[in-house]
Amino acid sequence: MKYTDNQRIQIILKYAHELLQYVKDNKIDKDMISSNQIIQWTVTTPLYNIGEQVYQLTNSFKQNHPDVPWNMIAGMRHRLIHDYVGINWYIVTEAIFKPLPDLVVKLDALVEE
């Protein structure tokens, strides 16, 4: 199925909200992500789904919203999928606790446009 950019943004927001809620509800901190393989598996699934949706956005959409680090988000997805053994968990945890909430705010604003 071919999704519109707006539908992809909605999917990204769904995964991001669910991931952030999971982390909050389960009182997951950075150390837990860095050391617990089950939690790592759990948090990476929504991250690579977010990255895949970003990767599939049209170039014109991404160019019209240059304040979002689209390439970094898609790049994280590629790293999570293709180099799982080499993942830097510090980068993953930092992404979950700072840029992801910021991304949600930016994308919520795009949906309201």
List the catalytic residues.
77, 82
Encode burial over 15-50: b for 16+ CB neighbours within 10 A, e otherwise: bbeebbeebeeeebeeebbeeeeebbebbbebbbbb
Read off the DSSP letter of residue 57. Answer: S
